[in-house]
Amino acid sequence: MKLPPRKPGALPMPLWLQGVFELGQAAVLSAVLVLVPVLAVWLTGGFAERSAESAAQLAGQGWLVMHGVPLVLSFPPGAGEADPTSGLFSVVPLGLALLPFLLAWRAGRRLARASYTDQLWQALLGGLGMYAVAGMATAYFASNEEATASLIAGALIPPLSAGLGIVTGAYKEAGAWSRLVGVDLASWISRSSQHSRWAGSYALSVLRSAFLALVAAAGLSALLLAVTLGIHWAEIAAIYERLDAGIAGSSVLTILQLGFFPNLVLWAMSWSSGAGFALGTGSSLSPFTTSVGPLPAFPVLGALPAGELDYGYAALAIPVVAGLLAGWWFFREGENHLDEWLLLQSSRRWLTAAVSTLVMGLLVGLTAGIGGAMLALLSSASLGLGRLTDLGPDPLLVGLLLAAEVGVGAIAGYAFSPLLERESRRPVARKSGS
């Protein structure tokens, strides 16, 4: 990385100020992406009871929610109640959260091109500080009698997605961590012992295999969700017709559903693991049965299965198939150094192979289970209203079931990998005249 050439006599922009400018652009652009749909609905009379200031505050609340900041909602008192009630609105729309992440990713690449080696921290410090100030200011401006946001949460939570985006973007541009932090990891690893390098390679292979299992499980669950949406498209269209929200309102509603699509994919993955998920306190949706209460008129909810499913248990194959792919990947990596070490300790090949395969399956399954539990927790939500305070899967149950199913699949995939990788023997054609 190096600074771009500048004209003679021109003063260079400090890196911290350039970070402020780049992430300031990201904050403004992400705010515009929220403000435009809200403004379109307001101009078409969708928020007829709101003033322009109230609509702008609603847009600010949307910007905070897009970054995962929880809001405290206030509801008017019901019948027989003297005081208004309140509830915590906590949800991370993962699809919408990609917008600030991608904008920060672009900023990270630009800052990496403008920074010398190991000086990127200056741009990061300035940019994230600016983003924290923007989040705090938005929380202050957007708070009203309907919804309030903590200034501390507004300052600390939005920089998380922005920081992740800017770091990954800088790494993509630099190509190596050593160019970002000034530490040559390759030389540091080369100075470590052989056993340490083996252990590191083995742990990295376990992480990669578990990551592959989660990606495969999420991808297959997304395919299952897409098929379900296609089958129940008539029910979804009927809900759209009953809402009659107009062009602007229907467009915003569709954008919101697309923003929650990654959450729905993770809920489908939890469903396929057998853990299921909840759509309100006391409800349960799993491959075996569906029991839900009254639901809001959200069109995508029209695709929910109803009653007992005759072949719902077949969905349990999804995490097992993901584990099979993970075990195959681990075999192809060729980094099973635990098996090599055990072989040095004992000549009983049947025992060392069985132990190393079981340990691999246990570690891959455990790692995938921890990752699945974290994703389930991230996808959970609370609307802060009545029974809708419990939305999404149980992270602990999802983690336990995914760990077991992916682990079993990884063991089977590793055990059968030699059959898949065996090269076919073909006769070699001889040259004429030889």
Last residue of a domain, one of 183, 218, 245: 183
Confidence (pLDDT) at 116: 72
* Cα gap 408→125, rounded to integer Å: 45
The answer to whether 166 and 103 are in contact (CB under 8 A) is no
Same domain for 172 and 251? no
Please check whether residue 202 lies inside any domain of the structure.
yes
Total domains in the fold of the chain: 2
Confidence (pLDDT) at 397: 94
* Cα gap 185→121, rounded to integer Å: 18
Please check whether residue 2 lies inside any domain of the structure.
no
Last residue of a domain, one of 183, 215, 240: 183
Residue 394, domain extent: 193-421
- From the list 219, 418, 203, the residue with the least C-alpha distance to 332 is 418
Confidence (pLDDT) at 54: 86
* Cα gap 214→231, rounded to integer Å: 26
Same domain for 227 and 176? no
Same domain for 201 and 117? no
Phi, psi dihedrals of residue 147, rounded to the nearest 5°? -150, 140
Chunked mean pLDDT (size 10), the chain, 434 residues: 48 80 92 89 76 88 93 72 74 91 91 78 88 94 90 94 89 73 57 67 90 96 92 88 80 87 94 89 81 79 75 88 94 79 76 86 95 94 83 93 95 87 51 46
Q: What is the DSSP string of 267-317?
A: HHHHHHHT--BEESTT-EE-SS-EE-------GGGGG---S--TTGGGGGH
* Cα gap 148→145, rounded to integer Å: 7
Confidence (pLDDT) at 289: 76
Confidence (pLDDT) at 124: 86
Same domain for 230 and 299? yes
Same domain for 235 and 300? yes
Same domain for 216 and 337? yes
Please check whether residue 428 lies inside any domain of the structure.
no
Q: Which residues contact 60 (CB under 8 A, 6 or more apart)?
A: 31, 138, 141, 142
Q: Where are the alpha helices (DSSP H) in 67-115?
A: 94-113
Same domain for 92 and 48? yes
Same domain for 77 and 218? no
